[in-house]
Homo-oligomer: A and B are copies of this chain.
C-alpha cells in the first residue's frame, strides 16, 4: 500500500520529520530518500540540493506555524486571551515541527536560512501587536513589547523543542494528557501573571 502522493511532497514530509527530530547535519539525503521511498537522486532532481530542500521544509512548516499564529491572533477575545491561545497552541498542536527546527537553527552561529528570520519576526511581531493592543486598552501592563513577547514565547517554544526537559529531567510525565493539561495551564497562568496589569 505504498503512498501515491507526489515525490516532492513525500520528500518534504520525510525531511520535515527527520530534520525536526535530528537536526540538519545529522540527517543524510539517503535517510530522507529512503524514508520517502524515493530514489537517491530525487532530492537533487526536485529541489536542487539538500540545503534547498531544507529551506523548502522551513518554508512549509513555517507557513503552517504562521497560519496558526495569524488565525488565533486575528480571532476573537481580548488580547490576553489570544496570547494565551497562541501559547496553548504551540504547546499542544499535535504536529508542529517548526519550533524545534527554528530554535536549533537559531542556536548556531552559522548564517540563518533566509526564510527563517522573516518568519520569526512575523510571529513575534504578531505577539507584540497583541501586547500593544492590550496596553492601549489598559489590560496589559506597560513595558517594552519586544521584551514581553520574548518572555511570553520562550517557555512554549523551549518546551516544544526539548520535550525531554519535562519528561526526563523535571519528572513531569507530560505524555499523559492530564499532566500535559496541567503543564499548559501552569505556563498559561505564569504568562498571564507576567502580562496582566
Contacts and interface: CB of A to CB of B under 8 A. Distances in A.
Nearest to A160: B107
A171 B146 contact: yes
A146 B170 contact: yes
Contacts of A23: 23, 25, 107-108
A107 B161 contact: yes
Contact of A154 (B21, B110, B146, B155): B155
Interface stretch (A8-16, A46-54, A181-189): A181-189
Interface in A92-113: 100, 103-104, 106-110, 112
Interface string A142-171: 011011111100110111011011101111
A121 B147 CA distance: 28
Interface string A8-48: 00000000000001110110000000000000000000000
Contacts of A154: 154-155, 158-159
A143 B186 CA distance: 9
Nearest to A118: B169
Report, nearest first, the 7 A-B pairs whose CB atoms are least far apart: A25-B25, A106-B162, A147-B186, A146-B170, A190-B194, A21-B109, A154-B155
